[in-house]
A and B are shown apart, each in its own frame.
Chain A
Amino acid sequence: MREERQSDENLVLKAKRGDTDAFNLLVERHYKRIYSLAFQMLGNAEDAADATQETFVKAFEQLRYFRGDASFSTWLHRIAINTCKDMMRRNRSVQFSQLTPEDEHTEFDPATLTEPNPDEILAERERTELVWLALGKLSDEAKQILVLCDMQGFSYAEVAAILNLPEGTVKSRLHRARNAFKEAWKSLMREQIEPLKRPKGGDEK
């Protein structure tokens, strides 16, 4: 379309005036990104699609409150994050094994991983599966920050704007989240690798 080159701000102005086409252009521009964010947060395609839809519907309905303090994309991501969190809260009926807080990291089992590089063992697809599983074990807070920083690739400043937090908080939460993710990853690796090791004779264990 010809209008493709218009800036988001322009389109937002038009959309605010009731121009649905302008809003649709915005949807077209951003829905893939929002979908990927939702997928990363929710871990499955159906919920991600629903969350994406809900995000845009909310954005459409609240557009008039959008004052342009942040960019439209930031604002949209904020809505998306909140939508996903709502959805997770709704979906969370049973499982949520909160990960052990950092201070419990001390006990290590050196025998856990004897293979030098567990990556080689797992095919890429399996690894991706594991990523979703590991993310699923994190708290919402940790998950959102990991998704935004490490998967979506936003800068600290952008994440701070999206989450409405000071940058320092974002950093410290991110470090904690990365450690938590590593722990989740470790326990999953253990589950994955143990069965592979056993036939060989249990190694050091």
Chain B
Amino acid sequence: MNCKEVIERLPEYWSGELDETVKNELTAHLKGCLTCQQEWALLQSAMNALRNAKTPEPPPELLVRIQAEVKARQRLKPVFVWRWQWATAAAVATFVLLCLSLPLLQRAREKAQMPISPMVAERAVPALPAPALELPPTVAPSKPQIPSIATLPTPKERLEKPRRKVLAERPGSERISEAPETGLRTTGPSEPSTSKDLPLLSIPSGEYREEAGENIAPEISVPAEKIAPQIAQLPSEPRKVPFIAELELSEWLRVQKPELKMGELPATPSPESPTGIPSVAGAPRARRSEGIESQYPAMGRHAVPPMQMGGGQAQMFAALPLNLRWKGYETVVVGKVRLWQLSLVSETPQVITIAVQPGERVEVLNAQMLLGEGKGLVLWRDKLPAFKEATIPLLLRVTEPGARRLKVTVEMADGRTFSWWCVFAAVEREEPVRIRKPISFQVEQWTTLDLLSNLAWESKSAFLVPETVANRVISIPMRTMSIYEALTLLERQLGGKWLRLGNTFSWSTPVPAFAVPAIKQ
């Protein structure tokens, strides 16, 4: 064995896959050859390093990201179109079939009136559909009855009954149950003519066919009352589409202990805080800029509730009735699904709706139902279980770079509504954040929201402000200043404070000063 051969075989030597003789030969060579020894040492160290190399854990949001993407794809799947197509196909097929088989049907009826025991019918029918696929006219007499309404499997039923023999059983019959499900009840008999490649939908077939057989048989030969109970058994509730936000929220909802919750409420600055100019914040006297609404016509105005976050006098002893905070935020990269987490802290958990209004070119993937024009998408709608803090996941996808806004609205059971604006920047690629960057102003007056949009874009940060504050007009000196300066300016003029967490800023409004003595006593 020369060195070249030895070195070539070292990997096998290492993994112990050599025959005894070759192995001994190799060992002998290694003993006397320094070069090969070194190669051997190298191989060992390389393989050890390779085997021990630790792979980092996946980023925590990856799972949610994947699942959101899958859900988004699920929604993109043209389920409805499919069904519609099937329905059409079924209708056409029925028509053709009927035309062809009318004379036969006539005969069939005559036959049907002849005494056939239900048993016979039951057995006979399941066997028929397979040939029926190819030869409709000849089998027509029995076939038209197959997919009676009674056989329609509701989605629930589908879930409950795992199909038993589908794979093993008559593949030819697979697509029977599909057409009826499309809702084309009147045209039940048509399905055999449908083509072969039913994806996804075709799976639960074998069993339905059987059921079809069972259910149809009586139709042929047995008086109608026998069918009735069978129909009644079938769950008839409408298909319930799993509500994405529902699933996610229920997963994310965390009920927390009160003391934890209090820790989560650093938002309420004490009245003696330097910037705390009391009474400004909560008052619902926000002026609205014409600019915003003309710029974002899609975002209709929400009714301004009698009491806004942090401001209501009735709530003065309860600190903040509702408090929205950033929990997790990722820079939004154009085209990628990103997860945001907002934490909603509530003293009084009678939240009934959490909705978002996506702005232009912002898609909120985990929101589905439309609330009505200009009112946004529902993330959650129901009575939430008692909670102190709920985590609201927002799965976003943005199609173009730029400063973007979202409005999160929380509706309480007593009719009050609280809204926040989420302002953020969508970037092409992950970019480093430079908050100290200078920003220059050419205007003297701006609404908070417009200013924040600019700041978000310049600093790639995200901002969260209650709507009352968002729509206030502020005056800005026309010059260049740092982003921090601009933020401080906002604090001074609006009487609140930014809570910063990484590159995200949440606005906290002071509780009106007069409320505090009451709490102390």
Contacts and interface: CB of A to CB of B under 8 A. Distances in A.
Given A108-B39, A128-B49, A185-B45, A31 B63 contact: yes
Nearest to B43: A182
Contacts of B54: 128
A71 interface: no
Contacts of A119: 45, 48-49
Majority SS of interface residues in chain B?
A: helix
Nearest to B202: A64
B162 A13 contact: yes
A105 B7 contact: yes
Given A128-B53, A134-B46, A185-B42, A179 B67 contact: no
Given A110-B34, A118-B45, A182-B43, A175 B70 contact: no
A39 B49 contact: no
A23 to B, nearest CB: 6
A4 interface: no
B200 A53 contact: no
A141 interface: no
Given A36-B55, A174-B11, A52 B62 contact: yes
Interface string A119-137: 1000010011011101100
B56 interface: yes
A interface residue count range (under 10 / 10 to 19 / 20 to 34 / 35 or more): 35 or more
Interface in B40-62: 41-43, 45-59, 62
Contact of B49 (A61, A171, A185): A185
A45 B47 contact: no
Contacts of A40: 53, 55
A31 B64 CA distance: 11
A182 B51 contact: no
B interface residue count range (under 10 / 10 to 19 / 20 to 34 / 35 or more): 35 or more
Interface string A2-32: 0000000000010011111101100110011
Contacts of B74: 18, 20, 60
Contacts of B413: none
B95 to A, nearest CB: 29
Nearest to A178: B11
B7 A179 contact: yes
B68 to A, nearest CB: 10
B238 to A, nearest CB: 16
B46 A112 contact: no
Interface in B197-220: 199-201, 203-204
B67 A27 contact: yes
A23 B50 contact: no
A151 B51 contact: yes
B436 to A, nearest CB: 26
A103 B5 CA distance: 10
B260 interface: no
Given A31-B63, A32-B58, A23 B70 contact: yes
A17 B155 CA distance: 10
B302 interface: no
Contact of B56 (A19, A45, A52, A178): A45
Contacts of A185: 42, 45-46, 49
B120 interface: no
B50 A150 contact: yes
B165 interface: no
A182 B200 CA distance: 47
A163 interface: no
Given A39-B56, A49-B59, A57-B73, A16 B38 contact: no
B8 A49 contact: no
Interface string A43-73: 0011011101100110011011000000000
A75 interface: no
B247 interface: yes
A13 to B, nearest CB: 7
B62 A178 contact: no
29 contacts: A13-B163, A13-B203, A17-B203, A18-B201, A20-B74, A20-B242, A27-B67, A31-B63, A36-B58, A53-B62, A56-B70, A57-B66, A60-B70, A64-B199, A106-B4, A113-B41, A118-B45, A119-B48, A124-B52, A128-B53, A134-B46, A134-B50, A146-B50, A150-B47, A150-B51, A151-B50, A179-B7, A185-B45, A185-B49
Given A108-B38, A146-B50, A150-B47, 18 more contacts: A18-B200, A24-B67, A36-B55, A46-B430, A57-B66, A102-B8, A113-B42, A118-B45, A131-B49, A150-B51, A151-B51, A174-B11, A175-B11, A175-B12, A179-B8, A181-B47, A185-B49, A189-B42
Interface of B: 3-4, 7-12, 14, 17, 34-35, 38-39, 41-43, 45-59, 62-63, 65-67, 69-71, 73-74, 158-159, 162-163, 199-201, 203-204, 242, 247, 336, 430
Closest 10 CB pairs of A and B: A185-B46, A178-B11, A35-B58, A36-B55, A131-B53, A175-B11, A182-B43, A182-B46, A128-B53, A64-B199
Interface of A: 13, 16-21, 23-24, 27-28, 31-32, 35-36, 39-40, 45-46, 48-50, 52-53, 56-57, 60-61, 63-64, 102-103, 105-106, 108, 110, 112-113, 116-119, 124, 127-128, 130-132, 134-135, 146, 150-151, 171, 174-175, 178-179, 181-182, 185-186, 189
